[in-house]
């Protein structure tokens, strides 16, 4: 399978992010308004993470999806995964920071494997680590490059906001660039997860640790009708 490409990934992320800006704004507003509600806020957080997966596949998200009851299923495993990641990354950070950064990149897609494929917490970490092997630097550079470019453009625009009479126009454009950056970075993460999800399917296809989502069992076939018996002579 081809490795992750920097420019195509950023290009797709920007494209998918642009068409989701209105939906994202609605989702952020709903999330902020309900973040204070216990238990519900866990489901809305998971809903936002699921939206990243959809954006990475080029879909247009629905802001109301963060309130789906299914988002709050398997919360025990969700918090277990969160705890394992926190402890692992924190421990790695004790070794002069660099190992912690490497681990955080390697495990950065574990939540998405959990939410989409329903894997056990430890298996999510294993699959995320294995699928990102040899491409951790690419993940780092994609995120850094996209952030720097958007921040530079926005900074230039805000720097020009002091121009007399038309400064307000540059300020509005700067805000718009930050909105695009927010949407694009989420979509870029989704695009990268799509790549590693497909890569993981290939890596684990013939192993017991297969990471494909379980398929629904087929309905048993209806028995064929028996032929009528011939009348006795």
pLDDT of 140 above 90 = yes
| 211 touches 127 (CB < 8 A) | yes
Residue showing tokens 């992750």: 4
Mean pLDDT of 87-115: 93
Q: What is the pLDDT of residue 208?
A: 47
Q: What is the pLDDT of residue 206?
A: 55
Residue 183 has pLDDT above 70, yes or no: yes
Q: What backbone phi and psi angles, to 5 degrees, belong to 32? A: -65, -40
Q: Residue 109: which residues within 8 A CB-CB, separation 6 or more? A: 128, 131, 132, 192, 193, 196, 197
Average confidence (pLDDT) over 155-165? 85
Reported confidence tier of residue 2, pLDDT bands at 50, 70, 90: confident
> Angle at which helices 167-203 and 110-117 pack, to 10 degrees?
70
**How do residues 39-64 score in pLDDT, each as one tens digit?**
999 999 999 999 999 999 999 999 99
Q: What percent of the chain has pLDDT over 90?
A: 73
- Could you tell me the pLDDT band of residue 199, with boundaries at 50, 70 and 90? very high
Give me the pLDDT at residue 211, please: 55
The model's confidence at residue 221, banded by pLDDT at 50, 70 and 90, is low
Average pLDDT over every residue of 205-216:
54
CA-CA distance, 118 to 101, in Å (whole number)? 26
Q: Are 24 and 183 contacting, i.e. CB atoms less than 8 angstroms apart?
A: yes
Give residue for tokens 């121009």: 163
Is residue 231's pLDDT more than 90? Answer: no
pLDDT at 203: 85
pLDDT score of 132 more than 70: yes
pTM for the whole structure: 0.84
CB 190 within 8 A of CB 57: yes
């Amino acid at each position: 399978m081809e490795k992750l490409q920097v420019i195509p990934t950023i290009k797709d992320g920007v494209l998918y992010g642009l068409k989701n800006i209105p939906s994202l704004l609605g989702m952020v507003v709903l999330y902020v308004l309900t973040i204070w509600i216990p238990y519900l806020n866990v489901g809305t957080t998971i809903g936002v993470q699921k939206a990243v997966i959809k954006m990475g596949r080029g879909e247009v998200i629905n802001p109301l999806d963060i309130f789906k009851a299914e988002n709050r299923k398997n919360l025990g495993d969700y918090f277990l995964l969160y705890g394992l990641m926190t402890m692992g990354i924190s421990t790695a950070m004790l070794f002069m920071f660099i190992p912690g950064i490497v681990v955080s990149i390697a495990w950065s897609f574990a939540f998405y494997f959990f939410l989409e494929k329903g894997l056990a917490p430890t298996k999510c970490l294993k699959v995320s680590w294995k699928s990102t092997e040899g491409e951790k630097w690419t993940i780092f550079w994609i995120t850094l490059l996209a952030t720097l470019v958007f921040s530079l453009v926005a900074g230039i625009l805000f720097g020009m906001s002091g121009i007399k009479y038309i400064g307000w126009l540059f300020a509005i454009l700067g805000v718009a660039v930050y909105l695009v950056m927010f949407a694009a970075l989420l979509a870029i993460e989704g695009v990268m997860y799509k790549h590693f999800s497909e890569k993981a399917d290939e890596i684990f296809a013939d192993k017991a640790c297969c990471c494909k989502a379980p398929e629904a069992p087929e309905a048993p076939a209806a028995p064929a009708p028996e032929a009528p018996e011939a009348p006795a002579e």
